[in-house]
Each structure stands twice: as structure tokens, then as C-alpha cells.
Structure 1
Amino acid sequence: MKALALRWLLLLALLAATLGLAYLPLGPAAMPAALIVAFAMAAMIALTCMRLASAPRLAAIFAISGLCWILVLVTLGGADYVTRTILPVAGAMHPDRDAGS
């Protein structure tokens, strides 16, 4: 019970770190810092709450494959966002050009 309370307090501390990072003016370093905290939280939950450290190897394989699928989805979503072009629609009002009429 004491170990569970310690894990819970550590998760709360990481949550507070995430909140603190949101308000710090770190500039370009804000995203890597937030990702490090998020990775630490996810690893702690996976290793302690889900007990992946002592789980059978098949459970670890499924957990890793789930992370791979998330990586594939994020990569394809980012590729869609980067490669999409914005085409003008015929007959649509342009906010800057048609504002005065």
C-alpha cells in the first residue's frame, strides 16, 4: 500500500511538472521537455500499474505493438497535414477582398 501511494504521489508530481512547463516561457525547448515528462508518466504507468515488467513476454509484445501502431497513425496523420494543399473554392468570398463591398 505504501508503494502504491508513492507511485500515486510521483504521478501527481509529474502532473504538476506538466502544468508548470505549460506556463514557463521555454520557447522551442517546451515541446521536448513536455514529451520527456509524458514519456516518464507513460513508462511509470506501464511498468507499475500495468505490471509489464513482470508480465509474460506476450503482453510486452502487444504493448510494444500498440505503441508502434500509434506511431504509424501519428506519422500518417502528420503526412496528411503536411502534404495537403489549400485550393481556392470557385465563387467563395475572400475575407480581405470582399470585406468592403
Structure 2
Amino acid sequence: MLLTERETNEGLLVSVCDRDVLGETFEAGEFSLTVEEEFYAEDAAEADEEAVAGALARAAVANIVGREAVEVAVEHGFVDESTVLDLGETRHAQLLRL
């Protein structure tokens, strides 16, 4: 998985995606998601499950794309399965802590 952590005025922004979805566009009904290299891969590091879970634990906001990445977020309790979007070949979830 590719993991990026950015400090913002609102807290830590985490983006994580499966490598195989990078640069792809997925659609479901009226919803469309392009996994932009600039957002998900620029300054990203390869990350295992432990690193992704650690970053999500610290995140104020997270964008998560890909079957493996979303599975990590769900299994570790950061995202409720019922809120995950299925986009054909991939999955997408967001995390927001207030």
C-alpha cells in the first residue's frame, strides 16, 4: 500500500491506496473517483498493515482506496463496513474525526 501523511491546520491528513489502483478511475452510478498520483503517491511510502493502522490512528482525516487498504481500516475499527463505497473493482472509505 502507498501511504502519505500531511500535517494541515485541521490535523493529520492521511491518504492510503493499494498500488494497483493508482491512476485509475472508478465509477458507481453518479459517483466517480480518480485515484490521482499527485494526491496518493507524491511523497508516499510503501506501507504494511501495521504502518497504515498506525497512521489511521493518528489521522484527523483519511482517504482510503483499494480493497486491501479499506480492509485494514475496517479490520482495525477505523471505518464501519456499512460506510464503505463499492466502486466495481475497488473500494473507497473516508475517515473524519471531529
Structure having the higher strand fraction is 2
Give yes or no for TM over 0.5. Answer: no
TM (normalized to structure 2)? 0.23
Higher relative contact order (CA 8 A, sep 6+): 2
Structure having the higher helix fraction is 1
TM (normalized to structure 1)? 0.23
Asked which structure has the greater CA Rg, the reply is 1
